[in-house]
A and B are shown apart, each in its own frame.
Chain A
Amino acid sequence: MTITEEEPPVVVQAPPALEAVDIVKSFDGVHALKGVRLSVQPGEIHALLGENGAGKSTLIKIVTGLYSPDSGEIRRGGETVEFANVRAAHQAGVVALYQELSIVPTISVAENVLLGEQLPSRAGIVNGRALRRRAGEQLARLQQKIPLRKLAGDLSPVQQTMVAVARALATDARVLILDEPTASLTETEIREVFAVLRALREEGVAIVYVSHRLEEVFELCDRLTIMRNGETIVTKNVADTTIDEVISTMVGRSADSLYPERGTATKDVVLTVEHLNGRRVKDVSFEAYAGEVLGIGGLAGSGRSELLRILAGAQGHKGGTITVGGVPLRRRSAVGRMLDAGVALVPEERRSQGVLLGTSIQDNIALANLGAVSRAGVVSGRQIAQMAKRGMADLQIKARGPKQSVGELSGGNQQKVVLAKMLARRPKVLLMDEPTRGIDVGTKAEIYRLIRELAAQGTAVIAVSSELPELIGMSDRILIMHEGSISGEVAAEGADDEILLSYAYGRSE
């Protein structure tokens, strides 16, 4: 079943199962894809790699009919196709599975497997037995024994993944696109998924595998395509390259030049957290210092984001104390109160948590500063405009003017609007959850510089990041979380991935 080293991946000279040729796509004048090429053979597992914002998701949405390209061609088995919608792509055998959106939790496993199929029925009454038999056959192909009557929402993450794969197979998928399929799985579960994917490869299914976990890519995939800033940089056999080479190709330059000099940290404690407990956060204690950038790492689901949310007052906590600038804070959480105390959060999901997309830059910035731009409850348009202009100048936000709608800006500039909104509060502690997610490399460097400038002015910056190079590069000190607790602390200078990962997996003592 598995391909060994004596048996190098045979690239079949059949027409590619899926081919994207010179795909161009832009949103609001910003080029998301600038002539992307991707070619996947039947019976191949093909990794699609790139940093966040490189254009992977846009490409996937185009080949699965969710977006239509501005120009370029999609070919399926050598023939040019145009998918009007997701259904059309399904019917052509192209199916994408996203991490969490792929099952309906409130209906049974069997119904999930056959979702979108013609259900076995007579006169509109579904034949439950036939339904379960057909669903069972699909799951058997994957060597899975999952109770067919169970609600899909009650399954473990790996079982849910399997149900989603089984559904794709039920619709006779010949091209299967998996977006971060292992993100929430344990090591053993990942093995299980890999075994299934290898079996599907034997059946001639073409698999596009999107992942940030390069070790997995090198273990599983036959070829890889690297994207950067909306372009495909290279397609290679996995056997012909190395992880280091892949990383430097993804980043596009040596990582060091991205980050500004350290050396602004002081010993003045700004924030003290003691024995903090809450949802996904267990007995967390630490201090943050003025002028320091404190990185927080850990796997997805380790409680990093929840910790920030509790500190920002966006989520309640059950016990422990938070002290800002020597003043202990009352137990009840509210974002407004934490902002008043000097703690501000730049949230993880910019578009759904950070900015009002249909609203102007100045009104977005004013939203967290209504007290400062109003008198007796009446807002001053002049003061709002002044505040926005100051923020736009300080952070070099590229826009036509303070009244431009935030939805029209690039991701990097949107992130700067969120920052401007929070910085106008002059926070003592700035919390940032994934500060550069979905931002191009150039703007990333700018954000790192801004973070360091803030620190230099005496702010304590606490930043959560999933990207290890970023965590090491921007921080002075790094706390690693594992299952809700802090499992390790390291100085960022000279830290390496290995030690961070071992703490993240809770392996070190």
Chain B
Amino acid sequence: MTTQKESTTTTAVVVQQSKAAGRLLISGGTVVALILLILFFFLMRPDTFLSFVNVRNILYQISILAIIAGAQTIVMVLGDFDLSVGATSSLAGAVTSVLLLQENGLGVALLAGLAVGLIVGLVNGILIAYLKMSAFVATLATMTSVIGLGYLVTGGTTVFGMPAEFNQLGQGRFLNIPLPVYFAVAISVLIWAGLRFTTVGRRWYAIGGNVEVARLSGVNVRFARLLAFTLAGIISAIGGILLAARLGSAAAEQGGDNTLFSVAAVFLGMTVVRSGAANLVGTMIGVAIIGVMSNGLNILGVNAYVQQVVTGLIIIAAVTLSSLKTRET
């Protein structure tokens, strides 16, 4: 939303500003939940939770999810979703790792990993945009096959022993902050700017708003959708390669959890804006909620399975609250 300079003095802008304030209040719910979560864990563990080391830890833990949730945000802007992001990320990590173990150069291995994302994304896009399959069915099917390919590539085991220069991508630090955090921030900023300031982003939002209106306004809906899924595939692949580097190992399903968590993060983010559309800032708030909760419950010594139960409940609570709000307006 770029406010134009010449009208800053007119009353219209004053009205818009007070409206923006109202919008902030409405958006409050999910953000307030994040602040309350942070406050709660801080009060429970005042010495550790907000320490530099733990905050860095949280950022490190959520960086991969942030990248994959960014990919998910793109397709959810169009009103679709992609169940294959986790599997694609795993396969990309596995292909890169296996190629490295076969003594290929780092550049070749990384490009091959990205190519995995490109191909899976293209297939998703073609199935959904051109063959008119539902996103649910298409990405469920590709997810299934991609997991299978992951097992084939890794031989069903966890592969490890990649060169240090590769692992450095996931484990190295710059200014005492892990590299994946920088990657996540850079990719998020790019996606945010792309959704907000480019013609493609406008078209995606228009499609998500109403396909028919977009089409009758001259938007090439099929191509825009193909592009969205392809980008989602490539970005997921980046996430998967970084995950393999961070863990120093690769396996067919190591990114699997990120699929559902990415959808959850986008849903949480949709409650942040009044329009209820997927948006990157909201997604990152959603990612932060998931990350803070997981880290905090860990520190409190709560069982990981309980964490998953709580995550589901939080999504239900957030989405219910926001739908109550829209009903009132």
CA distance A82 to B106 in the complex (A): 72
The answer to the question of A147 belonging to the interface, with a C-beta cut-off of 8 Å to chain B, is no
Within 8 A of A (CB), among B178-227: 197-200, 202-203, 205-206, 209-210, 212-220
Residue among A356, A367, A374, A381 with the highest chain B CB neighbour number at 10 A? A367
Tell me the smallest distance from the CB of A164 to a CB of chain B, in Å: 27
Query: Provided the pairs A335-B218, A400-B12 are in contact, do residues A379 and B198 lie with their beta carbons within 8 angstroms?
Result: yes
CA distance A401 to B6 in the complex (A): 14
Q: Are A359 and B209 within 8 A (Cβ)? A: yes
Among A377, A382, A400, A421, which residue has its beta carbon within 8 angstroms of that of B198? A377
The answer to the question of B275 belonging to the interface, with a C-beta cut-off of 8 Å to chain A, is yes
Query: Provided the pairs A400-B15, A401-B16 are in contact, do residues A379 and B210 lie with their beta carbons within 8 angstroms?
Result: no
The answer to the question of A88 belonging to the interface, with a C-beta cut-off of 8 Å to chain B, is no
Query: Provided the pairs A356-B210, A358-B275, A381-B4 are in contact, do residues A312 and B198 lie with their beta carbons within 8 angstroms?
Result: no
Residues on B with C-beta less than 8 A from A257 are: none
User: Which of A10-18, A212-220, A345-353 lies on the face that meets chain B?
Assistant: A345-353
Q: Are B213 and A379 within 8 A (Cβ)? A: no
CA distance A345 to B217 in the complex (A): 8
The answer to the question of A370 belonging to the interface, with a C-beta cut-off of 8 Å to chain B, is yes
Q: Are A366 and B202 within 8 A (Cβ)? A: yes
Tell me the smallest distance from the CB of A385 to a CB of chain B, in Å: 4
The answer to the question of A314 belonging to the interface, with a C-beta cut-off of 8 Å to chain B, is yes
The answer to the question of B303 belonging to the interface, with a C-beta cut-off of 8 Å to chain A, is no
Residues on A with C-beta less than 8 A from B198 are: 374, 377-379
Within 8 A of B (CB), among A358-402: 358-359, 363, 366-368, 370-371, 374, 377-382, 385-386, 400-401
Among A352, A381, A421, which residue has its beta carbon within 8 angstroms of that of B217? A421
CA distance A80 to B309 in the complex (A): 49
Residues on A with C-beta less than 8 A from B277 are: 358
Within 8 A of A (CB), among B1-16: 1-5, 7, 12-13, 15-16
Query: Provided the pairs A377-B198, A382-B2 are in contact, do residues A314 and B203 lie with their beta carbons within 8 angstroms?
Result: no
CA distance A374 to B197 in the complex (A): 9
Among B202, B209, B215, B218, which residue has its beta carbon within 8 angstroms of that of A379? B202
Residues on B with C-beta less than 8 A from A314 are: 215-216
CA distance A338 to B217 in the complex (A): 10
Tell me the smallest distance from the CB of B115 to a CB of chain A, in Å: 24
CA distance A381 to B220 in the complex (A): 22
Tell me the smallest distance from the CB of A367 to a CB of chain B, in Å: 4
Total A residues in contact with B, Cβ cutoff 8 Å: 36
Tell me the smallest distance from the CB of A38 to a CB of chain B, in Å: 29
Residues on A with C-beta less than 8 A from B218 are: 334-336, 338-339, 368
Q: Are B15 and A367 within 8 A (Cβ)? A: no
Q: Are B220 and A336 within 8 A (Cβ)? A: yes
Q: Are A347 and B216 within 8 A (Cβ)? A: yes
CA distance A336 to B224 in the complex (A): 13
The answer to the question of A472 belonging to the interface, with a C-beta cut-off of 8 Å to chain B, is no
Residues on B with C-beta less than 8 A from A371 are: 199
CA distance A352 to B212 in the complex (A): 7
The answer to the question of A354 belonging to the interface, with a C-beta cut-off of 8 Å to chain B, is yes
Residues on B with C-beta less than 8 A from A382 are: 2, 4-5
Tell me the smallest distance from the CB of B3 to a CB of chain A, in Å: 8
Q: Are B15 and A368 within 8 A (Cβ)? A: no
The answer to the question of A318 belonging to the interface, with a C-beta cut-off of 8 Å to chain B, is no
The answer to the question of A355 belonging to the interface, with a C-beta cut-off of 8 Å to chain B, is yes
Tell me the smallest distance from the CB of B163 to a CB of chain A, in Å: 38
Residues on A with C-beta less than 8 A from B275 are: 358-359
Residue of B nearest to A384 (CB): B2
CA distance A377 to B12 in the complex (A): 29
Q: Are B199 and A379 within 8 A (Cβ)? A: yes
Q: Are A370 and B203 within 8 A (Cβ)? A: yes
Tell me the smallest distance from the CB of A281 to a CB of chain B, in Å: 18
The answer to the question of A403 belonging to the interface, with a C-beta cut-off of 8 Å to chain B, is yes
Tell me the smallest distance from the CB of A433 to a CB of chain B, in Å: 10
Q: Are B2 and A352 within 8 A (Cβ)? A: no
CA distance A314 to B198 in the complex (A): 25
Residues on B with C-beta less than 8 A from A357 are: 209-210
Among A335, A356, A377, A381, which residue has its beta carbon within 8 angstroms of that of B215? A335
Residues on A with C-beta less than 8 A from B7 are: 385, 401
Tell me the smallest distance from the CB of A190 to a CB of chain B, in Å: 32
CA distance A336 to B223 in the complex (A): 12
Q: Are B215 and A401 within 8 A (Cβ)? A: no
Tell me the smallest distance from the CB of A139 to a CB of chain B, in Å: 37
Residues on B with C-beta less than 8 A from A345 are: 216
Residue among A345, A379, A382 with the highest chain B CB neighbour number at 10 A? A379
Among B4, B200, B210, B215, which residue has its beta carbon within 8 angstroms of that of A385? B4
CA distance A334 to B205 in the complex (A): 20
Residues on A with C-beta less than 8 A from B199 are: 370-371, 374, 377-379
Q: Are A403 and B16 within 8 A (Cβ)? A: yes
Q: Are A355 and B213 within 8 A (Cβ)? A: yes
Query: Provided the pairs A368-B218, A401-B16 are in contact, do residues A377 and B202 lie with their beta carbons within 8 angstroms?
Result: no
For the A-B complex with A377-B199, A378-B198 known, give 6 more contacts whose Cβ atoms are closer than 8 Å: A338-B218, A359-B205, A367-B214, A379-B199, A401-B7, A403-B1
Chain A to chain B: the 3 pairs with minimum beta-carbon distance, closest first: A381-B2, A401-B12, A336-B218
